[in-house]
C-alpha cells in the first residue's frame, strides 16, 4: 500500500530505482489497448517507470503517489527519457478519481487495504471516459507462500473474485490469476502469484 508516505519515502530514498526503470511486463504487453494519446492516471506510481513508459508512447500521464521522494525520482526519470509527466503527491484515501476524467487508469502493485481498495475501485468505471481502459496487476494471497516480493499482510493481497466484485461497470478482456516470473529491480524477483486485469468502460 502506498498511502503510508513516510514508509515509501524511506524505501525510495536511495540513488537506485527500487523496482528498476523498465515498465511492468503486463503493462508493456497490453499498452496498445489504451486509447491513443489519452489522458492516463497511474495510481501508486512510485518512482515513475510505468508513467514514463506511457508518456513515451504519447499519452498524457499523471503519476499519483503518497511519496514525494518517489515522485521526485519519477520526474528525474522522465527528464532522462526526454518525456513529460505530471506528478501528483496525494494519498488515495483523500483523492477522488473524478467522473469521465481519464482514458486510462493503471494500477501496478498498488496494494490497498479494505475498505479503501473497495472504495477506489468502485469509482473506476465512472472515472473513465467511454471506451477508457483499466489495467491492473497485483499480488494475490498465494504470494505469501512464494515470498518473492509484495506485501506480507493478507489484507493487502486481493483475489480475482474480490476485484471482480469491486470493479463493477467494466467489461473485462483479461481477468486471470496466474504465476509468472517477475524481475523488477531489487524489489521484485522470482516466481510470483499475480492477478492481471484489463477492463474497458462501454461506450
Q: Express each pLDDT in 37-47 by its tens digit.
A: 999 999 999 99
pTM assigned to the model = 0.95
pLDDT average, residue stretch 67-88? 98
Domain spans of the chain, in order of start: 5-200
Q: What does the alpha-carbon distance between residue 106 and residue 165 come to, in Å, rounded to a whole number?
A: 18
Q: What does the alpha-carbon distance between residue 159 and residue 17 come to, in Å, rounded to a whole number?
A: 28
Model pLDDT for residues 60-75, shown as the tens digit of each residue: 999 999 999 999 999 9
Q: What are phi and psi of 117, to 5 degrees?
A: -60, -45
- The proportion of the chain whose per-residue pLDDT surpasses 70, expressed as a percent, equals 98
CATH number corresponding to 5-200: 3.40.50.150
When comparing pLDDT for 5 and 126, which is higher? Answer: 126
Q: Residue 5: what pLDDT?
A: 62
Answer whether residue 172 shows pLDDT above 80: yes
Q: Residue 136: what pLDDT?
A: 98
Q: What does the alpha-carbon distance between residue 104 and residue 84 come to, in Å, rounded to a whole number?
A: 17
Answer whether residue 2 shows pLDDT above 70: no
Contact 8, 69 (CB under 8 A): yes
Model pLDDT for residues 89-133, shown as the tens digit of each residue: 999 999 999 999 999 999 999 999 999 999 999 999 999 999 999
Q: Residue 4: what pLDDT?
A: 56
Amino acid at each position: 500500500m502506498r498511502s503510508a508516505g513516510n514508509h515509501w519515502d524511506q524505501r525510495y530514498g536511495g540513488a537506485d530505482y527500487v523496482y528498476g526503470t523498465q515498465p511492468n511486463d503486463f503493462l508493456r504487453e497490453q499498452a496498445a489497448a489504451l486509447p491513443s494519446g489519452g489522458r492516463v492516471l497511474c495510481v501508486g506510481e512510485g518512482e515513475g517507470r510505468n508513467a514514463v513508459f506511457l508518456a513515451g508512447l504519447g499519452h498524457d500521464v499523471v503519476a499519483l503517489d503518497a511519496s514525494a521522494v518517489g515522485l521526485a525520482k519519477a520526474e528525474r526519470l522522465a527528464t532522462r527519457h526526454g518525456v513529460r509527466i505530471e506528478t501528483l503527491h496525494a494519498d488515495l484515501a483523500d483523492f477522488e478519481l473524478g467522473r469521465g476524467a481519464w482514458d486510462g487508469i493503471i494500477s501496478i502493485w498498488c496494494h490497498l487495504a479494505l475498505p479503501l481498495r473497495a472504495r477506489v475501485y468502485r469509482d473506476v468505471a465512472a472515472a473513465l471516459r467511454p471506451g477508457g481502459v483499466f489495467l491492473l496487476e497485483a499480488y494475490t494471497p498465494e504470494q505469501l507462500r512464494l515470498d518473492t516480493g509484495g506485501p506480507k499482510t493478507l489484507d493487502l493481497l486481493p483475489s480475482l473474485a474480490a476485484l471482480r466484485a469491486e470493479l463493477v461497470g467494466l467489461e473485462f478482456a483479461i481477468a486471470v490469476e496466474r504465476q509468472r516470473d517477475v524481475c523488477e529491480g531489487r524489489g521484485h524477483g522470482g516466481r510470483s502469484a499475480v492477478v492481471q486485469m484489463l477492463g474497458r468502460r462501454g461506450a
